Amino acid sequence: MAQDEISKKVELNWLSAFYGGLLTDKQRQMLTLHCEEDLSLTEIAQEVGISRQGVHELLTRAARKMFEMEEKLHVAARFQRVENGLEKCRTMMREGRYDDAERMIDALIRFDQEENNGL
């Protein structure tokens, strides 16, 4: 499997954690089979009883919808930024850099407040 295809599957799986609830049941099923079960489009088509083209179209629509939602809402990006910041705080605290950790926490709080005011 090509690295680009793996990266796309990982990204789709990541976005589905945030936006999967906005997809149809069929789209969620196709994403699960393709990204988590690592089935090919042909294998999915055989398993669910639709054409390979039908699987491709469902996956394409699901991906488009999730990318559009992320472009508008940035929920996954915000989550990643906060998670990275918290991990840095943990490292700073383990190293005894409490003042740096406190500044990082303050920055994360400001970021969260600014983002919430923008919604």
The residue segments making up the domain with residue 105 are: 75-118
From CA 21, how far away is CA 15, in angstroms rounded?
11
Do residues 12 and 33 share a domain? yes
> What is the reported pLDDT for 40?
94
Do residues 63 and 87 share a domain? no
Do residues 19 and 55 share a domain? yes
Do residues 12 and 62 share a domain? yes
- Joined together, the tokens standing for residue 96 give 């005894």
Q: Residue 56: which residues within 8 A CB-CB, separation 6 or more?
A: 41
Distances 85 to 6, 18, 99 between C-alpha atoms, Å: 26, 19, 14
118 confidence band (pLDDT: 50, 70, 90): low
Quote the mean pLDDT of the chain.
93
**pTM of the predicted structure, to 2 decimals:** 0.81
> What is the reported pLDDT for 1?
58
Percent of the chain with pLDDT over 70: 97
pLDDT tens profile 34-73:
999 999 999 999 999 999 999 999 999 999 999 999 999 9
From CA 1, how far away is CA 60, in angstroms rounded?
19
Is residue 31 within 8 A of residue 59, CB to CB? The reply is yes
Do residues 36 and 91 share a domain? no
